[in-house]
A and B are shown apart, each in its own frame.
Chain A
Amino acid sequence: MQMTGAEIFVECLKREGVEVIFGYPGGAVLPIYDAIFQQSHFKHILVRHEQAALHAANGYARVSGKCGVSLVTSGPGATNAITGLADSNADSIPNVCFTGQVPLAMIGTDAFQEADIIGITRSATKHNFLVKDVKDLAMTIRQAFHIATTGRPGSVVVDIPKDLGFAKCEFVWPEEVNMRSYQPKTAGHSGQIKKAIKAMLAAKRPMLYSGGGIMNAQGSASLLKTLAHQLNAPVTNTLMGLGGIPYDDSHFVGMLGMHGTYEANMAVSHCDLLVSIGARFDDRVTGRLDAFAPDAKIIHIDVDPTSISKNVDVDLPIVGDVGIVLQQMLDELSHQGGVPDVEALKLWWQQIDEWRAKDSLGFEQSNEGPIKPQTVIRKVHDITNGDAIVTTDVGQHQMWAAQHYGFKKPHKFLTSGGLGTMGYGLPAAVGAAMAFPDEPIVVFTGDASIQMCIQELATAYQYRQKIVVVLLNNAYMGMVRQWQEMFHESRFSHSYFDSLPDFAKLAEAYGGVGITVDTLDELDKALEVAFGSQESFVFIDIAVAKEENVFPMVPAGAALNEMVLA
């Protein structure tokens, strides 16, 4: 059948099973928007800034397990999207972004709203395509989804010149995508798996360290838990991996790294076997490299070969999808039928319990004093029963959310880990709400971060999303202030605002409910209101202890066991 490029676009998205896309129109994508107007296969969510479209698609992808999709116009539309592309790529989130481009004949002429999007996005994406012929459009879209969602997922750009939207050709749906140059590995090498299990059973102080790979491999979280229990090994999670094992599981020792728990960092520093499962030894995790897990043999399971031995030399690499590899490991474990070293593990757990007794996340909340940010996070956990979808921005509040919320399941904690993008939280929640409109969704944000994408309150209101924005307002760029206090002799260079808006009023102006909170009583009431039945979003602006710092902390360049505890 003859179709226009714009119709092909719609048809391909339908066939890819797309249910929702996030976008913002403009000249170069008008033909596509016209086709979207005339279809009912997928919803289009109108954001208020292209960066937010990408973050929303990212949030949607993380909670739904599907590919995020967005559509933006050429030039400034596409350049606005770049932060979101880089963000998704850093966190390995499948995200396909369609960008309009000036008509083919005008490419290279510095035309109105022309930008070299292929050039600009090359290093911010897993791959990008410029479609030059309408006949290639269907195959390109197919490849874009294939690349974004397989192997190590990431962001993919498809740049579509405006005239392709009008151009016609015979529509052919490619039943298969087979790219000889792109064949991601899924199953782990069986010989390596045998060796890994041997090492795990022989270990006296084993440690499992899991990351975002557990989120990307659907169903792998339960395998991780089973493996941990069968080996009787402690598990730590990266920021991206939180929820990979329930927070209250007996074998979970908390997050590791710069703001990890004492027990997690000490255990990594003292283990004799470290098994990394879908994590990439980021510098925020390892601390000083030469002192990282100094006594450990290291096994690394990762779908991306470049992650292996990039930062830390690995003794036993296993390239593959962590879900498949974990299953292979469990099979091998029952096949070998061995048991772990009971005596050694008893001593190991005694040691870990001693470290746990430090209660490194402890804090004091007085009844009269200012509200501690940690208190807020714990109260939100309680009122949501730990079941909420939680998004964050970047800063101290992000770390407190990671430390104190307590996640029971994967796909519940949405945070910008790799890029550390302020402005991520609210649009990510808008995206998540499109997948799970009836689940509680909380945005933990800061007074600085929220202002980077606050316009998305309008989107939340337009779609009557029941998002609860919890602003831990310390009237500082708290994390910046903390570093300045600790490493720059308290010279607070440009890390505070003298002119914060009245956030509650602002929220009301956007159509939601705005509440200002100064006391613990007010906090409890506000949370009741927020998680009661509401028409749309609720924004709670909470004055928290201004100079509270995040601890434990491994200063940049220090070893993991050189934590500052308070």
Chain B
Amino acid sequence: MRHTITILVENEFGVLTRIAGLFSARGYNIETLNVAPTLDETVSRLTLVTYGDEKIIEQIKKQLNKLIPVIKVEDISYTVHLERGMLMVKAIDAGDLREKAEQAGANIIDHEAGNYFIAEFAGTPEALDGFLASVDDEYVIESTRTGPVGMRRGSKGFVV
């Protein structure tokens, strides 16, 4: 089962290694991991996507909490929440490819007519998958995407 876990940590050196190290040492999976400082610059926020059975997910959450610089851990998978990731695709500018990308909701952020274009697309992980699938592989030069960031709906915030 796929779980999206949000984490607040002290914004200090080495925290990311501690989290990554925990997953590798205990054989847990990380599908994606996003991290950036928050408005409060002493705190960083992570969104981590992992999968495993209930017992493993329970251990993952406890083990994360046990790391000294980890302030808070929340598994948002079971709550009403939103997830958004971002994707960039560089493709050959041929036929109506660019137009179709725009119609699908992408922004064209770079473009050299007849040569190539770069499309930027944001959305749920599924929407990103869908968009990527809609672009003909043959024309894709490269693509890169982030894992999702996420938060719960409602007025309550996940803050320190």
Contacts and interface: CB of A to CB of B under 8 A. Distances in A.
B21 A123 contact: yes
A126 interface: yes
A533 interface: no
Interface in B17-54: 17-18, 21, 25
Interface stretch (A302-310, A323-331, A418-426): A302-310
Contacts of B65: 305
A127 B68 contact: yes
B71 A180 contact: yes
Contacts of A118: 14
B71 A310 contact: no
B2 interface: no
Interface in B49-64: 55, 58-59, 62-63
B71 A123 contact: no
B70 interface: yes
B66 A305 contact: yes
Given A180-B71, A180-B160, A181-B9, A306 B66 contact: yes
Nearest to A184: B66
Contacts of A310: 59
Contacts of A127: 68
Contact of A181 (B59, B63, B70): B70
A425 B13 CA distance: 37
Given A181-B9, A181-B71, A122 B59 contact: no
A122 B18 contact: yes
B55 A309 contact: yes
A555 B58 CA distance: 30
A306 B63 CA distance: 6
B10 interface: yes
A504 B65 CA distance: 51
Contacts of A305: 62, 65-66
A147 interface: yes
B69 interface: yes
A122 B21 contact: yes
A1 interface: no
Contacts of B25: 123
A123 B25 CA distance: 8
B17 A304 contact: no
Contacts of A181: 9-10, 68-71
Nearest to A122: B21
Nearest to B64: A306
A320 to B, nearest CB: 15
A306 B160 CA distance: 22
A304 B66 contact: yes
Interface string A305-320: 1101110010000000
A310 to B, nearest CB: 6
Nearest to A182: B68
B17 A126 contact: no
Contacts of B62: 305-306, 308
A310 B59 CA distance: 7
A298 to B, nearest CB: 15
Interface in A167-213: 179-182
Nearest to A313: B55
A501 interface: no
B66 to A, nearest CB: 5
A532 interface: no
A108 interface: no
Nearest to B8: A181
B17 A179 contact: no
Nearest to A123: B25
A130 B62 CA distance: 25
A244 B9 CA distance: 38
Count chain B CB atoms within 10 A of each CB in A147, A179, A313 and give the residue with the most: A179
B16 to A, nearest CB: 12
A117 to B, nearest CB: 12
Nearest to B65: A305
Contacts of B69: 181
A147 B70 CA distance: 14
A376 B14 CA distance: 50
A118 B9 CA distance: 18
A119 B68 contact: no
Given A181-B10, A181-B68, A306-B66, A119 B17 contact: yes
15 contacts: A118-B14, A119-B17, A122-B17, A122-B18, A123-B25, A127-B68, A180-B160, A181-B9, A181-B69, A181-B71, A304-B66, A305-B65, A305-B66, A308-B62, A309-B58
Query: Which 7 pairs show the lowest CB-CB distances between chains A and B?
Result: A306-B62, A181-B71, A127-B68, A305-B62, A123-B25, A182-B68, A181-B69
Interface of B: 9-10, 13-14, 17-18, 21, 25, 55, 58-59, 62-63, 65-66, 68-71, 160
Given A123-B21, A180-B160, 8 more contacts: A122-B14, A122-B18, A179-B68, A181-B69, A306-B62, A308-B62, A309-B55, A309-B58
